[in-house]
């Protein structure tokens, strides 16, 4: 069974630039999560989808972050414009049904300079 | 108060030792509990689910104390490969989200 795929693995951008991350969950998984993990901290939920509907985006900085999950499969997370404090690992995870085990992708390590 | 709190450690133990640590959660309505393991610069992976009666998986034992709102993880006969950060994860059904603690770092030395 293929795991959660994320790209790119690494990204370095200047502040005020835009960046987008892509995630393809495990086939058949209805729930998709985007987490932000800052060095030394636990993952923080940014947004959670159930199929193509948003379940929770209460911690998503909506003035600069956006996410979509068209057709209820893969998803993109965008930051525009980026700030220095956005430097973190962005983890995508999926699960077959809530709240069973969440499987994580390898993450995208973003550095904003 | 944070939803999930963990002792950050680090716990530095010799091989063969037993190490245990707790995680406290704030919402008494929490229903599901998990321990995830995260290696350095890797993604989190499920270590074990925590059942109300407590459960054991080889050298790992997890327990839940609903009255005091904490879960614990005990590692017996520590191996070098157990060195990692252990993340406590809690779910509140009405919130439909998994809340992660900041993690407890364990280092096993030879």
**Looking at the predicted structure, is the pLDDT value of residue A24 above 80?**
yes
- Contact list, B33 vs chain A (CB under 8 Å): none
Give the pLDDT of residue B95: 66
Residue A1: band (very low, low, confident or very high) from pLDDT cuts 50, 70, 90: low
B17: helix, coil or strand?
A: coil
The verdict on B91 touching A (C-beta cutoff 8 Å) is yes
The secondary structure of chain A, three-state, reads: CCCCEEECCEEEECCCCCEEEEEECCCCCCEEEEEEECCCCCCEEEEEEECCEEEECCCCCCCCEEEECHHHCCEEEEECCCCHHHCEEEEEEEECCCCCCCEECCCEEEEEC
For residue A54, the distance in angstroms to the closest alpha carbon of chain B comes to: 11
- Render each residue's pLDDT in chain B as its tens digit; 110 residues: 788 999 888 999 999 999 999 999 998 888 889 999 999 999 999 999 997 878 999 999 999 999 999 999 999 999 999 999 999 999 877 766 788 999 999 999 99
Give the pLDDT of residue B62: 96
Contacting B residues, span 33-52, partner chain A, CB-CB under 8 Å: 34, 42-46, 49
Task: Find, among A100, A89, A107, A84, the residue nearest to A30 by Cα.
Answer: A100
| Chain B nearest-CA residue for A92 | B43
Give the pLDDT of residue B46: 93
**Cβ pair B98:A55 closer than 8 A:** no
**Looking at the predicted structure, is the pLDDT value of residue A99 above 70?**
no
- Gap between the Cα atoms of B23 and B76, Å rounded: 18
Percentage of residues in chain A having pLDDT higher than 90: 78
Mean pLDDT of A38-42: 90
Percentage of residues in chain A having pLDDT higher than 70: 97
Are B100 and A42 spatial neighbours (Cβ–Cβ below 8 Å)? yes
Q: Which residues contact B105 (CB under 8 A, 6 or more apart)?
A: B8, B9, B10, B11, B84, B85, B86
Q: Which of B32, B96, B103 sits opposite A48 (nearest CB)?
A: B96
Give the pLDDT of residue A83: 97
B32: helix, coil or strand?
A: strand
**Cβ pair B87:A91 closer than 8 A:** no
pLDDT digits (tens, 9 = 90+) for A2-23: 899 999 999 999 999 999 999 9
**Cβ pair A99:B93 closer than 8 A:** yes
- Gap between the Cα atoms of A52 and A85, Å rounded: 28
For residue B62, the distance in angstroms to the closest alpha carbon of chain A comes to: 16
| Chain A nearest-CA residue for B47 | A101
Q: What is the DSSP letter of B22?
A: E
**Cβ pair A101:B46 closer than 8 A:** yes
- Sequence length of chain A is 113
- Average pLDDT score, chain A: 93
């Amino acid at each position: 069974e293929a795991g959660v795929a994320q790209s790119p693995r690494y990204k370095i951008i200047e502040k005020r630039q835009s960046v987008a991350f892509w995630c393809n969950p495990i086939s058949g998984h209805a729930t998709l999560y985007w987490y932000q993990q800052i060095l030394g901290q636990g993952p923080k939920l940014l947004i959670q989808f159930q199929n193509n509907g948003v379940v929770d985006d209460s911690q998503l900085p909506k003035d600069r972050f956006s996410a979509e999950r068209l057709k209820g499969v893969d998803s993109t997370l965008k930051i525009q414009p980026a700030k220095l404090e956005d430097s973190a690992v962005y983890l995508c995870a999926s699960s077959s049904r809530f709240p069973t085990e969440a499987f994580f992708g390898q993450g995208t390590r973003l550095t904003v300079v | 108060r944070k939803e999930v709190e963990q002792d950050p450690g680090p716990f530095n133990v010799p091989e063969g030792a037993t190490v245990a640590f707790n995680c406290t959660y704030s919402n008494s309505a929490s229903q599901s509990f998990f321990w995830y393991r995260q290696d350095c610069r890797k993604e989190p992976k499920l270590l074990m689910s925590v059942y109300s009666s407590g459960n054991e998986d080889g050298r790992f034992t997890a327990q839940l104390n609903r009255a005091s709102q904490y879960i614990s993880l005990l590692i017996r006969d520590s191996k070098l490969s157990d060195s990692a950060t252990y993340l406590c994860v809690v779910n509140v059904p009405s919130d439909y989200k998994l809340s992660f603690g900041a993690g407890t770092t364990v280092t096993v030395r030879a």
